[in-house]
């Protein structure tokens, strides 16, 4: 995606829809963490944007770091969740589910768009490329963000913890 925040949309929607089983902080962080290397390449180096982290293998390794970080800081993150009235499970199972779904969804969405990606590495092909147009993928991400936002606001309006 040209702008990493697009990836937050599907993460937010899935997190809100399955909040009892998927840790929202985990899925949101995992949805964007993959682009850290791409941002470095874009602004500070001349390396390919979609490198090793833009594979299912690399993304899974990245998810392990997200899992460890979220789990280590789960008490502090729980306080932030409470502030936003999001009652969350910070179990290892919910954090792992969120992290894996977030990184894999990032890879899948980008794989539809970019010819320099090899999501199934070590296989150097991209079977997902061109399955959907760029506008469909971008619109999907925006729609997911709106759905997630509406679900969140609806729960807040009902004045209940999510």
Spatial CB neighbours of 11, under 8 Å, sequence gap ≥ 6: 27, 28, 30, 31, 101, 102, 105, 148
Cβ neighbour number for residue 93 with a 10 Å cutoff: 11
Query: What b/e string do you get for 142-151 counting C-beta neighbours within 10 Å, with b at 16 or more?
Result: eebbebbeeb
The two structure tokens encoding residue 112: 């539809």
Start-end of H helices in 45-162? 56-72, 74-83, 92-111, 134-157
Q: What is the pLDDT of residue 134?
A: 94
Q: What is the pLDDT of residue 39?
A: 87
Q: What is the pLDDT of residue 45?
A: 87
Confidence (pTM): 0.91
Mean pLDDT by 10 residues, the chain (162 residues): 80 94 96 91 86 95 98 94 88 98 97 94 94 96 96 84 54
Domain ranges in the chain are 4-157
Are the C-beta atoms of residues 77 and 2 closer than 8 Å to each other?
A: no
The two structure tokens encoding residue 45: 């180096």
Euclidean distance between CA atoms 20 and 94, whole angstroms:
8
Q: What is the pLDDT of residues 101-122, one digit of tens each?
A: 999 999 999 999 999 999 999 9
């Amino acid at each position: 995606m040209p702008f990493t925040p697009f990836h937050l949309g599907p993460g937010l929607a899935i997190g809100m829809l399955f909040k009892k089983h998927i840790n929202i902080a985990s899925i949101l962080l995992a949805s964007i963490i993959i682009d850290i290397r791409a941002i470095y390449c874009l602004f500070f180096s001349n390396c390919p944007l979609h490198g090793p982290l833009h594979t299912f293998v690399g993304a899974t390794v990245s998810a392990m770091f997200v899992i460890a970080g979220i789990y280590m800081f789960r008490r502090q993150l729980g306080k932030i969740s409470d502030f936003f009235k999001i009652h969350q499970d910070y179990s290892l199972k919910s954090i792992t589910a969120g992290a894996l779904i977030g990184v894999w969804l990032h890879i899948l969405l980008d794989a539809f768009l970019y010819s320099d990606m090899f999501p199934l590495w070590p296989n150097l092909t991209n079977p997902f490329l061109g399955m959907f147009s760029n506008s469909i993928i971008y619109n999907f991400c925006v729609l997911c963000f709106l759905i997630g936002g509406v679900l969140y606001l609806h729960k807040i309006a009902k004045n209940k913890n999510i």
